[in-house]
């Protein structure tokens, strides 16, 4: 009996030790689970901050400030006292463009974000550990793989493709208005996205979407012009007579060119604050010509190219003329405050094979109703409030023909 009593007495310390170990294990499990949860939240914030930084690369503004602001919005505010993180920093948001390490090192189109934060402990405080550092890393890159080519942004104005032929095999047509008429239209597109149900029976069948946003921020040249409006001071008025006319870059309150035989726009930026009238100009080469040109339309500006043959192309680099810079891939940019609808009504060439109707680049008229009955060559992005494509023949090579000018930020690491 005494032996059994002694054995029972020996069990009490073992039970006590077991309880302590069980509590310790439970405490460590709580700390570990909490830290894993915080790490997931921190990684999500790091991913988001890297994407925000890469998105700012597209817009050409402050990458570091944007990434750190996004991290702060997700609960991780950089609070270092100096340029570098130290042991007293509870949250450090380091932004590197380009990244310092990894497969995207030295890639200026990539943004690396490293967040290091000290998270509190619970049970581990017993052992003198009050915080645990957690580091997360993400890299986002700017890519050119969006394939939208026709954006109709108005939610109220109707658009019409009635009896038109649209050849856009690598592009998506996006409409924010349910009333889009595809009756008797022949459409070849990667996809057709409509808010509501588009009328007619286009191929492929339209997909239902929520309203799409303006793609301008994802197009480098468009984003540049949106944030760097050119000066409209000292604009001049020009009226042509007959014959061949050459127009130099600059700011124009009016450009009356319809009496000319042919018009050539020299390379550069043309700021239009009033009427640009170039209707009725045909010929071989085209009645209206210009390479590496950008037209910025603002105020009460309006464009009239109806019954003209056109051969106009945007610059492909962002710094091509001393007058301004940053307009890469932008052929027409009309300020969103200007709702005047441009007229690109096709010329009647009478079946002449040399009739030229080519516009290459971005046509940005986000709040205007655009008359766009014309034949097209090259790869364009059309951003209209609404559009009239009736009985037109519009051809696009699409992104597969040379890559999209729309960019987006995606996670790379």
Q: How far is CA 197 from CA 177, 178, 205, in A?
A: 9, 5, 10
| CB-count exposure of residue 81 (10 Å: 0-12, 13-18, 19+) | exposed
Q: Phi, psi at residue 393, to the nearest 5°? A: -125, 95
Residues forming a β-bridge with 180:
159
How many helices (H) and strands (E) are present in the chain, helices listed first? Answer: 3, 24
Determine the pLDDT at residue 323. Answer: 44
Per-residue pLDDT of the chain (413 residues; tens, 9 = 90+): 455 555 555 666 655 565 555 555 555 556 566 667 778 888 888 888 888 888 777 655 688 888 888 899 988 888 887 777 777 778 889 899 888 888 888 788 788 999 988 877 666 566 556 677 888 999 988 765 556 788 899 988 888 887 777 777 777 888 888 778 888 888 878 788 888 767 777 777 887 777 777 888 778 788 888 888 888 888 999 998 888 999 999 999 999 998 988 999 999 899 999 999 988 888 777 789 999 999 999 978 889 988 888 888 888 776 544 445 568 889 999 999 999 999 987 766 555 545 567 788 889 999 999 988 766 555 678 899 998 887 666 655 454 444 566 666 666 77
DSSP assignment string, 53-92: HHHHHHHTS-HHHHHHHHHHHTT-----SSSS--TT-SEE
Determine the pLDDT at residue 402. Answer: 46
Determine the pLDDT at residue 393. Answer: 64
- Can you tell me which residue has the tokens 């595809």? 182
């Amino acid at each position: 009996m005494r032996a059994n009593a002694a054995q029972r007495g020996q069990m009490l310390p073992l039970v006590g030790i077991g309880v302590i170990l069980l509590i310790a294990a439970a405490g460590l499990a709580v700390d570990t689970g909490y830290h894993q949860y915080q790490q997931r939240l921190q990684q999500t914030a790091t991913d988001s901050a890297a994407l925000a930084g890469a998105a700012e690369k597209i817009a050409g503004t402050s990458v570091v400030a944007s990434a750190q602001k996004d991290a702060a919005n997700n609960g991780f505010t950089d609070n270092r006292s100096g340029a570098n993180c130290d042991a007293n920093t509870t949250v450090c948001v380091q932004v590197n463009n380009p990244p310092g390490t990894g497969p995207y090192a030295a890639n200026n189109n990539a943004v690396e974000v490293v967040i290091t934060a000290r998270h509190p402990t619970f049970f581990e405080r017993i052992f003198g550990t009050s915080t645990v550092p957690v580091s997360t890393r993400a890299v986002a890159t700017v890519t050119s793989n969006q394939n939208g080519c026709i954006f109709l942004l108005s939610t109220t104005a109707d658009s019409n493709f009635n009896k038109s032929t649209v050849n856009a095999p690598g592009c998506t047509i996006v409409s924010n208005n349910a009333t889009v008429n595809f009756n008797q239209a022949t459409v070849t597109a990667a996809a057709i996205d409509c808010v509501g149900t588009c009328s007619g029976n286009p191929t492929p069948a339209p997909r239902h979407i929520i309203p799409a946003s303006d793609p301008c921020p994802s197009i480098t040249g468009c984003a540049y012009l949106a944030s760097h409006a050119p000066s409209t001071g000292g604009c001049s008025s020009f009226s042509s007579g007959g014959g061949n006319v050459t127009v130099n870059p600059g700011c124009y309150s009016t450009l009356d060119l319809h009496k000319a035989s042919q018009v050539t726009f020299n390379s550069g930026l043309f700021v239009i604050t009033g009427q640009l009238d170039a209707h009725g100009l045909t010929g071989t080469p085209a009645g209206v010509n210009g390479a590496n040109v950008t037209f910025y339309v603002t105020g009460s500006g309006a464009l009239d190219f109806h019954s003209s043959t056109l051969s106009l192309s945007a610059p492909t680099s962002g710094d091509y003329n001393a007058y301004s810079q940053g307009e890469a891939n932008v052929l027409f940019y009309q300020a969103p405050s200007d709702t005047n609808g441009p007229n690109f009504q096709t010329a009647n060439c009478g079946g002449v094979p040399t009739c030229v109707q080519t516009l290459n680049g971005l046509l940005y008229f986000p709040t205007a109703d655009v008359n766009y009955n014309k034949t097209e060559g090259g790869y364009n992005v059309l951003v209209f409030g609404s559009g009239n494509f009736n009985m037109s023949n519009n051809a696009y090579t699409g992104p597969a023909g040379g890559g999209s000018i729309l960019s987006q930020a995606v996670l790379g690491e």
